[in-house]
Amino acid sequence: MSIWFWIYLGILILSIIIEVSTTDLTSFWFAIGALVAMIVAIFNVPWWGLLIIFSVISTLCIIFLRPIVKKKFENATIPTNADVAIGKIVMVQSSITPNQLGEIKYEGIIWSALCEDPTLTIPVGSKVEIIRIEGNKMVVKNIERGEKHE
C-alpha cells in the first residue's frame, strides 16, 4: 500500500475525532472523502487524483448530504422522563391560588404547580390533571372527583 493510503487513513481518523468533539456535522464529510480516497489509493492512483477524489467527495457530501442530515437531527425531539406525566391525575399537596404556586406530588416527587385557569383556587386534596410542563412547573387543570387517581 502506498503512503497515500496511510495519509488518508490519518485524515479519516482525525476527522472522526474532530466530529466526535463537536456537533457541527462538518468533519464527518471529510471523513467520507478520506475513506473513498483511501480505498482508491489501494489501486495506486497518483496523489493528485486522490486529492481530486477527496475534494470532490467531501464537497458533494457537504453540499448535498449535510443539510438533509442536519435537518433530520434538528427536527428530532428528545422526550424526557417528565413527558410521561402529561395526562396523569394527581393530588394537590399545597393549595394552588391565582397569586401563588401550589404543589402536587407526582411519583413521589413534589412539583410546583399552577392552574391553567389563573382565576381558580384549587384546595389541598383536590384531584388535578397534568396538562403540560413549563420549565420546572407543572400546569394542571381541576377535574371532577369521580375520575381515576394515579
Taking only the tens place, the pLDDT of each residue in 31-82 is: 999 999 999 999 999 999 999 999 999 999 999 998 888 887 776 656 666 6
CATH 2.40.50.140 maps onto the chain at 81-142
Whether the predicted pLDDT of 144 surpasses 70: no
**Cβ contact 41:5 at 8 Å:** yes
**∠ CA(78), CA(148), CA(125), 5° rounding?**
95
Which CATH superfamily hosts domain 81-142?
Answer: Nucleic acid-binding proteins (2.40.50.140)
Task: With cut-offs at 50, 70 and 90, classify the pLDDT of residue 148.
Answer: very low
Q: What is the pLDDT of residue 16?
A: 93
Distance, CA of 91 to CA of 62 (rounded, Å): 53
**16-52 burial: b if 16+ Cβ within 10 Å, else e:** beebeeeeeeebbbbbbbbbbbbebbeeebeeeebee
